[in-house]
Every structure is written in structure tokens, then in C-alpha cells.
Structure 1
Amino acid sequence: MAIEQSSPAGFVPGAVGYQGARIMRAVSGFRSARATKEAEGVTSLYRAVGSAEIKSIQATGMLRNLGSAESKYLTNSGEAASSYDRQAVKAFCDEPYSTVQTNVPNSALRDLLPVSVDRGIPAYVIPNEHLIGLTPNIMNYSPLSGVP
């Protein structure tokens, strides 16, 4: 996913460099996702993933970068993840993606603002070291906007 230069109101463009220390503090709670799930509540985040990333998740049970990227983008709705899927298939002739869901402690998102990526998809930028405590669930369907 590429960060757009323009963004709708309410989203912060270029958040990779946006108050980096604040973002790092905000996501530090990801490591304790399992321990705090019941105590504070969680937010479901989603990601469109290709076949190589699905194989990695199946082999390791976790989200991790397969290349040199330093973070992953996760969005707040399955529909938004599916929107990325449709864009990538159309623009890059990629094979269809799968959608992965994970639960993130609300405290970890409290000070973290979503950025706008790939034509308006809201996304949280999660550094690699904070992916460790997240448990990805591979969905057996792709959510579509307006479809129950």
C-alpha cells in the first residue's frame, strides 16, 4: 500500500514520519494484546493479504513482513481491506487477496491516527516489532461494502 499525498479530512498524510515517537508509544500496547483483551476492550483491524503472506501466516501463526518493509498497514474495516484487494487486482493484475482480521487493544489505538492510503483507505501504520502480539485470523470470505 502506498501513502497518498492528499487525504480526506480527518486523516493524517505521511504518518510514517508523523510524530514517530508518539506512534511508537501508542503501539507499545500491541505486545500485551492477549493479556489486556478482556480488561479494556479491543478493536478489530483488517488487512488484505496475498498468497505468500497467507502461507507465512499459516506457517507461523503471526503477521510479519516477508521483505524489507518496516511496518504493515491495517485498516478498521473488512470492507476497506477488500477495497485494497480490488484495487491491487485491477491495477497490478494480482491474484485475488484474502482478508485477515486481528484484535488490537483499544489503548494501543487511543493516540494513533489513521493515515489515508490507496484512494482513501484508512490505515494504522504498525511497526514490525509491534506485530508480535497480534493473532491473525484468516477470513473465509471478503467483506464487500453494502453486502451483509
Structure 2
Amino acid sequence: MAAPSCPAVAELIVHQTLLMGIGVLLGGRRLALGRRLRFDLPTLVGMAMGFGLIGLFGLFYYAGFTAWVQDYPRGGNPLGQLLGGTLFIAATVAFGLFVGSFFAPANAPSSTSSPPRSRCSSWPTCRGRR
């Protein structure tokens, strides 16, 4: 049986994937253009809607279908998930568009969202008893 906090990982996975994806795409576009990004309103709204739909479908997949298949406890409130998920994804997309416009190299977002490898080697690890 999984702990009740396990389904919260679904939101974290969607959040980080969406942030890194937006950052990589906007960083690549900024690198290709060679200048700071500027979008007119229809382009910006279209990008936000596209990223939002991808994030919302990902969230529904992880928090709905995956939880059902693996028999995690669910709240059973699809309207609440639709409302809360839409607000969550809208905030994530807005923050991703804001932060992603500052990255010039396309791989910079992935290096800023994870801890450095040298610090990971010094973290305590769980080892079985010998």
C-alpha cells in the first residue's frame, strides 16, 4: 500500500516537466533568433494555451488514469480536479513563460532546476542493514 502523499508526486512531475519544457523551447527560440524574445498578444496567448493543454492532459493522466490503474486512493472529484488543475497549470505556464524568456542556451533550464551532482554525492542515502 502506498503512502497517502504518493499521488502528490504527480503534480510535481507535471510541474517540473512543464517548466523545463517551456524553458528549453523558449531558450532554443531565443538562441535561434539571437535576441531577446518579444511576442505579440495572439502568439503569446497561443503559446500559453498550447503549453496549458499539454500540462492539463499530463496532469489528468498522472492524477487520474495512473492513480486509477495503480489503485491509489483518489478523491473522486473530477470538477474539483478540473478547476484546481486548470489554476495550477495556468500558474505554472505563466511562471514558465516568464522564467523561460531569460534563458539563452536551450539546456539552461535543466541545469537550474536540479541540485548539482557534487552535492548529491554527499547526501545521506538509505542503505539496508548488513
Specify which structure has the bigger relative contact order, considering alpha-carbon pairs within 8 angstroms and separated by 6 or more residues. Answer: 2
Structure with the higher fraction of residues in helix conformation: 2
TM-score normalised per structure 2: 0.26
TM-score normalised per structure 1: 0.24
Q: Which has the larger radius of gyration?
A: 2
Structure with the higher fraction of residues in strand conformation: 1
